[in-house]
Amino acid sequence: MPDSDRYQKFINEELILRDQLAIDRTKLSNDRTLLAFARTALTLFITGITALHFIPGEDLVLHTLAWLFTIGGPVVLYLGLKRYRRMIHDITSEEKRLVSKRKHFSFVMPRFPRFHKEQNNAQ
């Protein structure tokens, strides 16, 4: 079964609370991934700067590696930000598509006849 047909049956269904919560979890996961990219970039950059400071310039291999780490930090941060923005765009466009299919998100509590009878009797 091709990938495009796999989820076709879900397109016409309405968005329920579970789906809204899944979208929220995806957004939080995307934020967590951005923070991981930022942490990795900062670690690479600080490691490179520290190595440049403490390793003598005569050791060409370690000095080159330190420069690669120093340059690699901002590159990793850029790639993380680029990925984050692309995912945010994809998530919001899909959310807008789903909202346009259904006018609003709402969660309607089911009516429990027994509970309503007890409430009416108490009054």
SS3 59: coil
4 belongs to a structural domain: no
Among the residue ranges 7-16, 48-57, 72-81, 97-106, the one predicted with the least confidence is: 7-16
Q: Which domain holds residue 107?
A: 13-122
Residue type, 122: A
42 belongs to a structural domain: yes
44 belongs to a structural domain: yes
Q: Are 35 and 24 in contact (CB under 8 A)?
A: no
Q: Which residues contact 88 (CB under 8 A, 6 or more apart)?
A: 27, 30
5 belongs to a structural domain: no
Cα separation, 12 vs 100, in Å, equals 12
1 belongs to a structural domain: no
110 belongs to a structural domain: yes
Predicted TM-score of the model (pTM): 0.65
103 belongs to a structural domain: yes
Q: Are 80 and 37 in contact (CB under 8 A)?
A: yes
| Number of domains making up the chain | 1
Q: What is the tens place of the pLDDT at every residue in 13-71? A: 556 777 778 888 888 999 999 999 999 999 999 999 999 999 887 888 999 999 999 99
8 belongs to a structural domain: no
By CB neighbour count within 10 A (0-12 exposed, 13-18 middle, 19+ buried), where does 72 fall?
Answer: middle
